[in-house]
Chain A
Amino acid sequence: MKRDLLLFVCFSLLIMVAPQLFEGGYLMNVLVFVGINTMLAIALNLLLGYAGQISLGHAGFFGLGAYLSGIMTTTYSMNPWVAMPVAALIVGALAGLIGFPILKLKGHYLAMATLGLGIIIFIVFNETVDLTGGPSGLSAIPNLKLAGLSFDSDVKNYYLIWAFTLAVMLFSINLANSRIGRALRAIHDSEVAAQVLGVNSRVLKVQIFALSAVISSLAGSLYAHTMTFVSPASFGFNFSIELLTMVVIGGLGSIYGSFLGAALLTLLPEFLRGANDYDIVIYGALLMVMVMYMPGGLVRGITSLFSKFVKKSGADHA
């Protein structure tokens, strides 16, 4: 527990000084996205990596948060700080309601059901033109303001987003180490065994699904208020798959893994931009190589490489 806290403090310090290391500009904007994607990957990881329940519709919850915040603050001129929790509450309630029937499904069937859910939400964004602006999107969403300070630059947004991301990380690490975290991993491994120990797996699965949706919605709201523009294209099926890839590449059941996965998948396309048309090919090949050689995810892959290295250099000294 103490080690976890130390690691978290070090990580937070790193995040805080990062803007000083990179001279602002476009990279700051990308790092804002790393923060948002980290939050989303953690949300999905709690569900998939810990509780073992797949969701292919998480882009939908992300989008709902973004649109609800956007609509409430533009059409109904609500304060963004109020709109954010209201959106999260609505999304959480919705996820809880839908979660009860669909989380009875397992494996492929759950994947199909959540996939359908994501697609329905996507269609709603596109078709309810009066409310969402349809395919052309919703613009002029206000920035968040705090005591006269408006979060309207990349650097300010960086600190805003990462404050939330770090809070979500700390919360998730604590949750994972609690008795609830243990129960989630138990459900993952054997639902019957978890049940006969007194874990109400049905309710717990719905709860973690709703929590995951709430975090995704929060990320969506933050996205809307930093970008000030949302359109359905950002919340499609592709993005759900991208989130899934982040979680798997980073490592199932690892909170820092979600950060690494999100960082890698967000930064990689930027670095590959120089390769012109070949970027997609390299991107795909890199993912394949990583899954082949680090099947447990980046975090476990790196730690085992590191421990091998330490052992080897230790042997050399002897």
Chain B
Amino acid sequence: MLRLKNINTYYGKVHALKNVSLHLGEGEIVTLIGANGAGKTTILNTISGVTPASAGEILFCKEPVTALAPDKVVQRGISQVPEGRQVFKPLSVEDNLELGAYLRYRNREGKASIHKDMDLVFSLFPRLEERRRQLAGTMSGGEQQMLAIGRALMANPKMLLLDEPSMGLAPLVVQEIFRVLERLRRENGTTILLVEQNAKAALKLADRGYVLETGKVILEGPANELLENAEVKRAYLGKDKKEMWER
């Protein structure tokens, strides 16, 4: 469904992504793990067109989306949940959600279908419905994360890019959010690309994973294999620390 071929991205002179290639099948949940600065967020931003690639090709549903502006990428069916949630704090929950459907309003899509999707979001996150008139900035971190995901879903995407949805949240809330992601894939067939620091939780949810280091893919494979991989364990899962000490 999505295929990145030899993507190179720069921030000014900094070479952030070096020949990154990855792919996602339809309905798959794939996770990108890696340390800070490995290029996880950059991959998402490159796909969504926020920081365009300077070389390489991105295909979505067999069509190139490499040099498209962010709004065109959304139009094709890729929605990003940006890092740190970035909900619009002075706006109400409802306004935030309606912003997610920004392009659908422009395309004169009927209000009925947009409101149907809002109901879907409310069924996934009932707490948002309770707070629909509340200002987004007054909600807890977990609720804001739910809103950020709900807002991305309002664009009716085929594929969801999630950037560290667990950041700064209590483990229970993380579980709740991950359960919703699973349900989304099961019920709507949404394809999900998940960037996570919480590698263990992410690999448990995902089908496959990619491990990134300083802008390169150093390892890829089925999630359960990565979970067992000694190198991954040592570097990202915080296990076998003792071994390191002893060595």
Contact = CB atoms under 8 A, between A and B. Distances in A.
Interface of A: 179, 182-183, 185-186, 189-190, 192-200
A195 B91 contact: no
A186 B102 CA distance: 11
B76 to A, nearest CB: 10
Contacts of B99: 179, 182-183, 186, 194, 197, 199
Contacts of A182: 91, 95, 98-99, 102
Given A179-B98, A192-B86, A193-B82, A200 B71 contact: yes
B211 interface: no
A12 B79 CA distance: 44
Q: Which of A189, A192, A195, A198 has the most CB of B within 10 A?
A: A198
Nearest to A200: B71
Nearest to A194: B99
B50 A179 contact: no
B82 A189 contact: no
A197 B50 contact: no
Interface string B30-54: 0000000000000000001010000
Contacts of A186: 88, 91, 99
Contact of B71 (A185, A189, A192, A199): A199
B24 interface: no
Contacts of A183: 99, 102
B151 interface: yes
B138 interface: no
B102 to A, nearest CB: 5
Interface string B92-116: 0001001110110110000000000
B219 interface: no
A193 B88 contact: yes
A185 B75 CA distance: 21
7 contacts: A179-B106, A183-B99, A185-B91, A192-B50, A192-B86, A196-B79, A196-B152
Contact of A197 (B69, B89, B151): B151
**Chain B contact residues: over half helix, strand or loop, or mixed?**
helix
A89 to B, nearest CB: 25
B95 A193 contact: no
B88 A196 contact: no
B80 interface: yes
Contacts of A199: 71, 99, 102
Given A179-B99, A195-B71, 16 more contacts: A183-B99, A183-B102, A189-B91, A192-B82, A193-B82, A193-B87, A194-B99, A195-B48, A196-B48, A197-B99, A197-B151, A198-B70, A198-B74, A198-B75, A199-B71, A199-B102
B25 to A, nearest CB: 23
A186 B95 CA distance: 10
A189 B86 CA distance: 8
B84 to A, nearest CB: 9
A193 B86 contact: yes
Contacts of A190: 82, 86, 88
A174 to B, nearest CB: 15
A197 B95 contact: no
Nearest to B104: A198
B155 A189 contact: no
Given A189-B90, A198-B71, A179 B82 contact: no
A197 B155 contact: yes
A189 B89 CA distance: 7
Contacts of A179: 98-99, 102, 105-106
B87 to A, nearest CB: 7
A192 to B, nearest CB: 6
B102 A197 contact: yes
Contacts of B79: 196-197
A196 B74 contact: yes
Contacts of B100: 197
Contacts of A200: 69-71
Contacts of B106: 179
A197 B152 contact: yes
A185 B136 CA distance: 13
Contacts of A185: 88, 90-91, 95
A104 B169 CA distance: 34
The 10 residue pairs across chains A and B that have the minimum distance between CB atoms? A198-B74, A193-B86, A196-B80, A198-B103, A195-B70, A189-B88, A198-B71, A200-B71, A190-B86, A179-B105
Interface in B53-76: 69-71, 74-75
Contacts of A198: 70-71, 74-75, 102-103, 155
A211 to B, nearest CB: 17
Nearest to B69: A200
Q: Which of A192, A194, A197, A199 has the most CB of B within 10 A?
A: A197
A195 B71 CA distance: 6
Interface string B119-155: 0000000000000000000000000000000011001
B190 to A, nearest CB: 16
